[in-house]
Structure 1
Amino acid sequence: MRRLLALLLIAPLVAFAALTAAPALAKPAPLRVLYLDQSVGWKHAPVARPADGGLAPSEAALTAIGQESGAFTTEVTQDAREITPQRLERVDVLVFYTTGALPISPEAWAAIQQRVAAGKLGFVGVHSATDTAWPYDGPGETYTRFIDGKFAGHPWTQGTPIRVETLDPDLPLVAMWPLSFDYAEEIYQHSDFDPTKVRVLQTLDFAGTSVKRPYAVPIAWAREIGRGRLFFTNLGHTPSTWDDPRFRHQIVEAVLWTGRRADGRATPDTLRQFLWQVKALLAYEPVEGRDDQAIIGRLLKMDPTWQAATAQRIADLRAVYPAKPDSDRAPFDTAYKAVLADVLTRGGAR
């Protein structure tokens, strides 16, 4: 009986000791990033390797960002042929800073899309990742459809003063940037951009950008593909951007989010897309005394079908905007005046 009582008294103590001695939950291993910065055509300074060997500036920066944050490890390659279905099994996030028609196999591209859709692979595109495309007719989407945009010129060349508007300040992907800030970068505009597939997180604000266009120009967006995630940023052309703590922080958050280590929405917001198309249209030729905020307020109450059609009409102005100073302006002027008149009339300005 004494032995039984002793065991009954000791058992809870042993159990308590075992619980208190249990190791803390293991910290997740760093995500495994594979960085492809191959240039088939124009080579940007951040991806140019020194003649005497060594890493390109962005390769060194990405490696350091991963080490300093502890969020990820980095492997680099400038040969898309090294991306194989087998290697992808050892990768958590794929980062592209690329140009031109990459020599990536149809099997590899199909495998990338399958793994992204299954939530096993994240994708991050930096700057000229949208200046990349190659023929593909296999399962899934072409690369342009996947990333949701194709380079269509950069009126804002390196060092051009721009103003950026951050649209989701509470989202970790962009929370490191102010709501509105002035910057100097090379910014791409895009064709084949489908606003119904992505959530735009940052955009050019033409109220504070000297080189204006009458259509919206997204700077960063996020997309959900099945259970997987994609993030793209227009920034990264200018070498100094890679030294900016905010940009470096954004890269960390992009890897964590696409690698499914962080939460955050990527629901397309078509109403906001409409809003920014209208803001760009009105900012293109500002008129003193015109109450643009009141116009926009009225337009936001319009029928969603009209809003969607108008947003597309404004976006289509990019294709007819004069490419050069001596280009024929007639097609653009006709389309621009028509959509502006409709917006002003429905917005109560005339």
Structure 2
Amino acid sequence: MIAIGQESGTFVAEVTQDAREITPQRLESVDVLVFYTTGALPISAEAWSAVQARLAAGKLGFVGLHSAADTNWPYEGPGEPYDRFIGGQFAGHPWTEGTPIRIETLDPDFPAVSMWPLSFDYAEEIYQYSGFDPARVRVLQTLDFAGTPLKRPYAVPVAWARQIGKGRLFFTNLGHTPSTWDDPRFRRQVAEAIRWAGKRTRGAAKPDVARQATWQFRALLAYQPVAGRDDTAILERLEKADPAWREATASRIAALQPAYPAKPESDRVPFETAYRAILAEVLMRAQSR
């Protein structure tokens, strides 16, 4: 972080491995708080309340990197517990270190993802999340299962932004492997994320529910490709479907994640039943357009 700040000329980093140094008094001289953390942090309720209050007032920005979504601690106080604040909680990483993936950039104009191609192949450890609500964040990058060998029938976001009062939050799941940290694009992403969170650049954080619903449909269709089925045409017809139905069905697709078998020997019947019912409904709706 120190090196990225120096080479970009964007920020001066003060680094700590002791979360107890985050205090209401210390926060008064901080513009952007960056978490590259994991596990339970020893942050006092007073400090976490102050983080959220300053962010909501527009006096602080927040950036989470990779395992910041695998961070949590008990909290009862004003605002939100950390897992809801960040946008989603680690629920496994089917895409382990070095797994080939394809990432789609949904908002190429957003400054903290503009350095990446619209679609690109990569190798990283990618999380899936519990408690993720696409209606509360703007998804900026997502896995594209059309080009990712290890598939799931539900969308898996990679980066998102969130407006909290007058403050800004950015999260990216990238950042596990040393090769990612050596990638000039990722280093620029970190710098630009800090600039955006610190209100030095513009970029919309309003949720795009319609676009995010489309990526739920894309994941559903890509999970088990069928020769001769024109998924592009199906998606085009679904774009014209009733918005309320699209949003409700996208939520049902997202709900397949906790039903997905945790182990190869797990009972697949509940998942398969739900998956096939949704797929049949989606295909029927597309045919009726």
TM-score by length of 2: 0.98
Determine which of 157, 160, 163 is the counterpart of 1:221. 160
Aligned to 2:170: 231
Instruction: Please report how far the alpha carbon of residue 275 of structure 1 lies from its aligned counterpart in structure 2 after TM superposition.
Output: 0.2
Q: State the 1:169 CA deviation.
A: 1.2
CA distance in 2, matches of 1:303, 1:169: 27
Encode CA deviations 1:164-211: one digit per residue, 9 max, x unaligned. Answer: 001111221111000110000000000100101110000000011000
Give the aligned partner of residue 53 of structure 1.
none
Secondary structure, aligned partner of 1:200 = strand
| One of 96, 110, 113 as aligned partner of 2:52 | 113
Deviation of residue 349 (structure 1)? 8.2
Question: Is 2:185 the counterpart of 1:246?
Answer: yes
State the secondary structure of the residue aligned to 2:102: strand
Compute the displacement of 1:219 (Å): 0.2
Are 1:294 and 2:233 counterparts? Answer: yes
Q: Amino acid of the residue matched to residue 33 of structure 2?
A: L
Structure 1 counterpart of 2:218, which letter?
A: K
Structure 1 partner of 2:140: 201
Percent identity over the alignment is 74
Offset at residue 132 of structure 1 (A): 1.0
CA shift for structure 1 position 99? 1.0
4+ residue stretches of structure 1 with deviation over 3 A?
none
SS at match of 1:339: helix
CA contact under 8 A between 1:124 and 1:258: conserved in structure 2? yes
Tell me how far apart the structure 2 counterparts of residues 264 and 74 of structure 1 sit (CA, whole Å).
Answer: 23
Structure 1 Cα separation of the partners of residues 248 and 111 of structure 2: 32
2:99 paired with 1:134: no
Amino acid paired to 1:319: P
After the TM superposition, which residues 172-183 of structure 1 pair with which residues of structure 2 at under 5 Å, given as runs?
A: 172-183=111-122
Q: CA deviation at 1:297?
A: 1.3
SS in 2 for 1:203: strand
Distance, in Å, in 1 between the alignment partners of 2:2 and 2:54 is: 24
Alignment of 1:252-267 (within 5 A): 252-267=191-206
- Does the 8 A contact of 1:290 with 1:349 survive in 2? no
Q: Which runs of 5+ in 1 are unaligned?
A: 1-61
Would the aligned equivalents of 1:154 and 1:188 in 2 still touch at CA under 8 Å?
Answer: yes
Report the counterpart of residue 218 of structure 2 in structure 1. Answer: 279
Task: Provide the residue aligned with 2:149 in structure 1.
Answer: 210
Q: Relative contact order (C-alpha < 8 Å, sep 6+): which is higher?
A: 2
Bigger CA radius of gyration: 1
Aligned mates of 2:257, 2:135 — CA distance in 1: 18
Would the aligned equivalents of 1:295 and 1:349 in 2 still touch at CA under 8 Å? no
Structure 2 equivalent of residue 101 of structure 1: 40
User: Which letter maps to 1:333?
Assistant: E
Structure-2 residue corresponding to 1:89: 28
* Matched residue SS, 2:99: strand
Aligned length: 289
| Alignment gaps of 5+ in structure 2 | none
Q: Once the 2 structures are TM-superposed, how far is the Cα of residue 267 of structure 1 from its aligned partner?
A: 1.1
Letter in 2 for 1:102: L
Q: Root-mean-square deviation (CA), in Å?
A: 1.0
Q: Which amino acid aligns with 1:315?
A: A
Counterpart in 1 of 2:6? 67
Contact kept, 8 Å, 2:109 with 2:203, in 1: the verdict is no
The residue that corresponds to 2:244 in the other structure is 305
Shift of 1:294: 1.3
Aligned partner of residue 263 in structure 1, secondary structure: coil
